[in-house]
Structure 1
Amino acid sequence: MGMRRKFIADMMLGRLARWLRLYGYDTLYGVEEDGEILRIARDEERVIITRDSGLSRRAKSLGLEVILLGSNSLEGQVTELEEHGVEFGELSPASARCPKCNGPLRRASGEEVRGKVPEAVYQKYDEFYICEKCGQIYWPGRQWREMVRMAEKLKNARGG
């Protein structure tokens, strides 16, 4: 797949940004100013993902790579990204980034998270991941299963 692309998503694409992070894509989100989005994209060699045709035109005129999405739904947006060669392989916490802050996740020991997660969770799971940036702890529990289910649903909906 060559160099794994990095993205910056506009303010309309919060769900999509979290989705990309879960699949391990370095994706910035939360920058409100178009000029700032363009500057960051240029400085950090990020592909701009937007639903704003004005922003898309400005990006292209500056020679920046941009993906202009037409769809309102997450399913539609994911499909459009795939058409632009963005791959969504297996959803795995080992390769995901933090959906909250985009920080890298690393495997954490049970000892390390003890007292920081509910005792029942500590007893039940032996697989934990911690965000190196914001410290959020993840484990393959209910939320993770829901995301995996959603991923399957998206795949099936697109006959993939």
Structure 2
Amino acid sequence: MGFIADMMLGRLTRWLRLYGYDTLYGIEDDDEILQVALAENRVLLTRDSDLAGRARRLGVKVILLDSNSFEGQVGELKKHGIEFRELLPSNARCPKCNGLIQPVSKDEVRGKVPGGVYQKYDEFYICQNCGQIYWPGRQWREMLKIDEKLRRV
């Protein structure tokens, strides 16, 4: 299932990508959002009831979110059957660009990550689209805490 999110849902978009959902974001023009949603058969995520109405009239599947809070939005998506499985780097998409993330060997990131990171970690991932390199460091541990909270929502 692919999503397209309007500009009000940046944080939710990043987390959907981390959970492996193909989620487009960054299109500011509503007409273009609708055009892409139709052409690519994506579910529109929005907090804008006018946009949701226009989308439904065009035959676009829409999830209209009421909550302004991230946790509330996750809860609403769960009610629509969207699953928030265990957060794993092997299932994630790049939170920045939506590209696929693949594991890479430590040798492949030599000179591309800070020396301390290279020495401390053996597990690395790279976005096949933008080239961003990820590793299970402090930020990942913080994300796992949020993940536990989200799965309880």
User: What TM-score range do you get, normalising by the shorter chain?
Assistant: over 0.9
The letter of the residue matching 1:14 is: G
Give yes or no for the alignment of 1:94 onto 2:90.
Answer: yes
CA distance in 1 between partners of 2:102 and 2:147 (Å): 22
Tell me the equivalent position of 1:109. Answer: 105
The equivalent of 1:65 in structure 2 is 61
Candidates 39, 42, 46, aligned match of 1:43: 39
CA contact (8 A) 2:7 2:26 kept: yes
Q: TM-score, normalised by structure 2?
A: 0.98
- Tell me the CA shift for residue 151 of structure 1: 1.0
Tell me how far apart the structure 1 counterparts of residues 144 and 5 of structure 2 sit (CA, whole Å). 22
Measure the CA separation in 1 of the matches of 2:17 and 2:55.
Answer: 23
Instruction: Name the counterpart of 2:136.
Output: 140
Alignment RMSD: 0.7
Which residue in 1 is equivalent to 2:118?
A: 122
Structure 2: any 5+ residue segments left out of the alignment?
A: none
Q: Deviations over 1:82-101 (max 9, x none)?
A: 10110010100001000000
Partner AA of 1:106 in structure 2: Q
2:54 alignment partner, SS class: helix
Distance 2:76 2:140 in 1: 24
CA contact (8 A) 2:85 2:151 kept: no
Which residue identity lines up with residue 93 of structure 2 in the other structure? Answer: R
Counterpart CA distance in 1 for 2:141 and 2:19 is 14
Measure the CA separation in 1 of the matches of 2:110 and 2:44: 39
Match runs of 1:71-90 below 5 Å: 71-90=67-86
Structure 1 unaligned segments of length 5 or more: list them. Answer: none
Match of 1:149 in 2: 145
Q: Secondary structure at the match of 1:41?
A: helix
TM-score normalized by the length of structure 1: 0.94
Matched to 1:68, the amino acid is L
Per-residue deviation, 1:75: 0.2
SS at match of 2:88: coil
Count how many residue pairs are aligned between Structure 1 and Structure 2: 153
Counterpart position of 2:20: 24
Specify the alignment match of 2:9 in structure 1: 13
